[in-house]
C-alpha cells in the first residue's frame, strides 16, 4: 500500500493510505521504532527508551521513495520504510505466518476427514513439512503415516519442528501397560477425554503419539475438538462458559519424586475474549477451592463441559495402527482411549511434545524461505 497524504499533528503522524484509510502513529512510537535503534546484526532493539524525551516532537515528514523521512526537534532524522508503517498499524496485529485460522470440527468430520501426511515427505521436503504444520495448526489434529518401526521414528518427525519439551515423564514417554504405573496412561484402563499435564504452569503444546504396536483387543483412540465444545457451550450456556474461564481451579500431579501443581481456569481467553487454551483432565483436577457460595454454580458449569466431552457428537474414533502417529494441539484437542486387554496382544505408543512456540517459529521460518523462493 502506498501513501496518499502525510500530516504532522500534535503528538502524532497521520498517514492517509491510497485506499483512503487513515492511520495515526504516536510520535513516541515512531521514535521508539526508528531503525537506527536496532543492533545492525541481531536486529534487537538497543535504543534505550528512557534516553528519549517523554514527548518527542516531530517537525516534518516527507515521502522519499519507498520510505518516509521524519525530522525531529532534537535533530534526529529517521528513514522509515513504508512497508514497516503499513505492516504495523497501531490497533492491528502485524501479519504472522504462524497465525492460522482454526477450523473447528465435530463428529461429522469423521476419522477419514483427519488430514493425513506422509512421514517420508515430511522428513525429506520443507514444503511437505510446511503443509503438515499448516493442517495441524488449523485443525489441531493430523495423522502422520508410513513411519518405520524404530522407536525414534516419531521423534525424528517431531524434531523437524524443533526441540522436544521435556517434562517429569521425560523427553519422550512410553505409553505401555506397566507393572508399577505412576499415571493412568501407563495402565490398560480407559482414559476419558483429557488434555495432558494441565498441572504444568504451561502445559505441553503439541503432542505426538507414535503407534509402534496396537495388537491388543480394545485400545481405540478418541479425539474431540475442545474449542468446538467450548464454542457450543459459550452459545448454549454462556454463564457456564464464563465461570470456566474466570474461576481458577487447582490441577495436581504427584508421585514419589514430584508434586507439580498450578491454579488455572479450564478455559483461558486472550485479551479479545477469544479462547486460546483448554485444560481438562478429571484425573488430575485438584480439590476445588473456590468460596463455597460459588461452588454449586461452578460444579454445574464444570459438569456441563464434562457432559459435552462425553457427547458422541464431538467424537472422532479410530484405532491407531503401527506406523501411524497422531499429532494434536494438546491445549485444544482432548484425547482419550478405550480400555485394552494386555493378555490379547501388545500395545505400545511412543510419545513426545513440542511446545507451541517452537511450532510457530518453524512455521514462520518456513514461510520466510518460501517468500524468498517466490521472490527469486
CB 198 within 8 A of CB 279: yes
Which residues inside 162-191 make contact with ligand OGA, applying CB under 6 A? 175, 185, 191
Nearest 5°: the CA angle 351, 356, 360 is 120
Per CB under 6 A, does 285 bind ligand OGA? Answer: no
CA distance 302 to 267: 11
Q: CB of residue 105 vs ligand OGA: minimum separation in angstroms?
A: 19
Cell output for 134 = 499448516
How far is CA 118 from its chain centroid? 23
Residue 358 contact partner, candidates Zn ion, ligand OGA, none, CB within 5 to 8 A by sort of partner: none
Q: CB of residue 364 vs ligand OGA: minimum separation in angstroms?
A: 29
Collect all residues with Cβ–Cβ distance below 8 Å to 371 and sequence separation of at least 6: none
Q: CB of residue 172 vs ligand OGA: minimum separation in angstroms?
A: 11
Per CB under 5 A, does 196 bind Zn ion? Answer: yes
Helix axes 295-309, 226-236, angle to 10 degrees: 130
Tracing cell 517468500 back to the chain, one arrives at 371
Q: CB of residue 48 vs Zn ion: minimum separation in angstroms?
A: 47
Cβ-based nearer residue to ligand OGA, 56 or 203 = 203
Per CB under 6 A, does 61 bind ligand OGA? Answer: no
CA distance 256 to 260: 12
What binding mask, one character per residue, do residues 331-350 give for ligand OGA by CB under 6 A, x or -? ----x-x-----------x-
Q: CB of residue 193 vs Zn ion: minimum separation in angstroms?
A: 9
At residue 144, the 3 state secondary structure works out as: strand
Distances (CA, A) of 280 to 31, 191, 202, 231: 45, 12, 13, 15
Per CB under 6 A, does 193 bind ligand OGA? Answer: no
Which residues inside 349-368 make contact with ligand OGA, applying CB under 6 A? 349, 351
Interaction site with Zn ion (CB under 5 A): 196
In the complex, the residues that contact ligand OGA under the rule CB under 6 A are 175, 185, 191, 196, 221, 335, 337, 349, 351
Amino acid at each position: 500500500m502506498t501513501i496518499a497524504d502525510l500530516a504532522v499533528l500534535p503528538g502524532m503522524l497521520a498517514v492517509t493510505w491510497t485506499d483512503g484509510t487513515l492511520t495515526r502513529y504516536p510520535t513516541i512510537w515512531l521514535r521508539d521504532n526508528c531503525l537506527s535503534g536496532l543492533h545492525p546484526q541481531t536486529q534487537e532493539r538497543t535504543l534505550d527508551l528512557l534516553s528519549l524525551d517523554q514527548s518527542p516532537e516531530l517537525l516534518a515528514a516527507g515521502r522519499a521513495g519507498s520510505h518516509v523521512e521524519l525530522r525531529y526537534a532534537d535533530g534526529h532524522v529517521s528513514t522509515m520504510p513504508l512497508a514497516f508503517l503499513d505492516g504495523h498499524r497501531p490497533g492491528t496485529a502485524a501479519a504472522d505466518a504462524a497465525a492460522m485460522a482454526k477450523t473447528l470440527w465435530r463428529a461429522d468430520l469423521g476419522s477419514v476427514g483427519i488430514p493425513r501426511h506422509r512421514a517420508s515427505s515430511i522428513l525429506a521436503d520443507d514444503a511437505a513439512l510446511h503443509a503438515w504444520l499448516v493442517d495441524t495448526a488449523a485443525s489441531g489434529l493430523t495423522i502422520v503415516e508410513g513411519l518405520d518401526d524404530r522407536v525414534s521414528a516419531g521423534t525424528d518427525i517431531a524434531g523437524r519442528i524443533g526441540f522436544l519439551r521435556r517434562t517429569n515423564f521425560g523427553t519422550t514417554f512410553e505409553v505401555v501397560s506397566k507393572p508399577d504405573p505412576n499415571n493412568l496412561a501407563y495402565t490398560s484402563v480407559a482414559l476419558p477425554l483429557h488434555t495432558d499435564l494441565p498441572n504444568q504452569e504451561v502445559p505441553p503444546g503439541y503432542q505426538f503419539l507414535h503407534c509402534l504396536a496396537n495388537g491388543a483387543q480394545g485400545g481405540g483412540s478418541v479425539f474431540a475438538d475442545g474449542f468446538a465444545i467450548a464454542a457450543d457451550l459459550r452459545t448454549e450456556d454462556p454463564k457456564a462458559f464464563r465461570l470456566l474461564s474466570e474461576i481458577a481451579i487447582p490441577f495436581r500431579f504427584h508421585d514419589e519424586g514430584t508434586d507439580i501443581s498450578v491454579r488455572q481456569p479450564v478455559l483461558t481467553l486472550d485479551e479479545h475474549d477469544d479462547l486460546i487454551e483448554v485444560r481438562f483432565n478429571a484425573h488430575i483436577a485438584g480439590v476445588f477451592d473456590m468460596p463455597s457460595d460459588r461452588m454449586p454454580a461452578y460444579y454445574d458449569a464444570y459438569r456441563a463441559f464434562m457432559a459435552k466431552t462425553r457427547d458422541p457428537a464431538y467424537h472422532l474414533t479410530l484405532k491407531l495402527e503401527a506406523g501411524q502417529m497422531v499429532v494434536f494441539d494438546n491445549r485444544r484437542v482432548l484425547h482419550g482411549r478405550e480400555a485394552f486387554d494386555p493378555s490379547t496382544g501388545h500395545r505400545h505408543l511412543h510419545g513426545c511434545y513440542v511446545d507451541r512456540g517452537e511450532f510457530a517459529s518453524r512455521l514462520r521460518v518456513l514461510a520466510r524461505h518460501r517468500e524468498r523462493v517466490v521472490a527469486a
